Amino acid sequence: MNRRILAIAAAVGCAAVLAVAPARAQTTFRMAFVAPPPVWGPIADYYGEQVAKLTNGAIKVQGVGGGQLGNLPQNYAGLKTGQIDMMLADTGTLALARGGKDFNALFAPYVFHDHAHFRKFMFSKTFSDMLAPVEKEAGFKYIGYVSDRAPRQLTTANTRVTKPEDMKGLKVRVPETPTILEVFKAWGAAPTPVAAAELYLAMKQGIVDGQDNGFDAIAGAKYYEVQKYAIRIDYIQSALMVLMAESKWNALSPAHRQAMLDAAIATEKWASKRTWEVSDKSIAVLREKGMEIVEPDLAPFKASAAKALSALDGNLWSKGTLEKIAAER
């Protein structure tokens, strides 16, 4: 074999190596979320598609839903240690992160006047200032707001709720956050912890009488099969966010960091529009499937919630936090 043939062979070999290099260099991040895959899966998938597009396939984000990677506290602990790469979660769950005490206020029923008020707060300097020390202590990077969430409602199997007193003794599965637990107790209910992935079966078996979620989630998870009433109480405004383990974020190049942030912006434009469209369609689906949509007077619910929350002010969050939030309207 002469030198010319050797040179050609070497060149071909180098080209082959370069051709497969991007595939070898691909980094895959698993993004945990606790909701049933049909509910949040499309948003996780869309975000992953945007990341792949913006990084030319160098980074893959794989959504892992249904609590397969653990519950919320375990996910936050995993971000701190780097065992969890990424997390798709409700903004209110920031209260579960180390140093996140003040974020308990996000899940204070009726703390936000409406969703427009909530969005204004989430994109404010007030939110950024609250978040910065938590990111550092809890060991994660806030990638961004990726979708509005429809307001949380109440569903029940057999009880038509029109006032707080109607909830007396009802076993209701709600997020295990102190504000929601205390307010539901004030309304007379018996908050009962159940993993999100086990909720459908728990309602079917009568372990719990009801639950709280947006209309889109209620329809998406087919809760209409085991619940009769959907009570429109609009008591929590929130959104979905993407978080990333600080150690994983620090290992990214500046270009890939920007891609992760830009993917969140693109996802939010698509997902928020979809959320409200799906929510509206879901109400029709629930009616079609036999659920009754109950629209009670919210004044008694708000008054009872405010009384319960007044006892928590200065304990679950710093004094003045609710006032800061209110000022963002």
CA distances from 311 to 60, 92, 305, 306 (A): 46, 20, 10, 9
Q: In what order do the strands lie in the sheet with 238-245?
A: 59-64, 27-32, 86-90, 238-245, 140-149
Asked if residues 119 and 91 have their Cβ atoms less than 8 Å apart, the reply is no
Q: What is the pLDDT of residue 133?
A: 97
> Does the pLDDT of residue 288 top 50, yes or no?
yes
Rounded distance, CA 11 to CA 4, Å? 11
Map tokens 């609009």 to a residue: 234
3-state secondary structure of 124: coil
305-328 pLDDT, tens digit each: 999 999 999 999 999 999 999 999
Whether 3-148+239-280 shares its CATH topology with 153-235+288-326 is answered: yes
CA distances from 195 to 173, 184, 208, 210, 275 (A): 9, 18, 12, 14, 23
What tokens were used for 203? Answer: 């309602």
What predicted TM-score, i.e. pTM, was given to this entire model?
Answer: 0.83
pLDDT-derived band at 195 (thresholds 50, 70, 90) equals: confident
Asked if residues 61 and 51 have their Cβ atoms less than 8 Å apart, the reply is yes
Asked if residues 224 and 291 have their Cβ atoms less than 8 Å apart, the reply is yes
pLDDT-derived band at 176 (thresholds 50, 70, 90) equals: confident
Q: What is the pLDDT of residue 185?
A: 96
Neighbouring residues of 208: CB distance < 8 A, sequence distance ≥ 6: 171, 172, 173, 192, 194, 199, 202
3-148+239-280: CATH topology: D-Maltodextrin-Binding Protein; domain 2 (3.40.190)
7-45 pLDDT, tens digit each: 444 444 444 433 433 434 689 999 999 988 988 999 999
Q: Is 101 exposed, middle or buried (0-12, 13-18, 19+ CB in 10 A)?
A: middle
Map tokens 């409700």 to a residue: 90
Rounded distance, CA 263 to CA 20, Å? 25
Domain limits, the chain? 3-148+239-280, 153-235+288-326
119-139 pLDDT, tens digit each: 999 999 999 999 999 999 999
> Does the pLDDT of residue 226 top 80, yes or no?
yes
Rounded distance, CA 52 to CA 32, Å? 18
247-274 pLDDT, tens digit each: 999 999 999 999 999 999 999 999 999 9
Architecture of domain 153-235+288-326: 3-Layer(aba) Sandwich (3.40)
Q: What is the mean pLDDT of residues 199-216?
A: 96
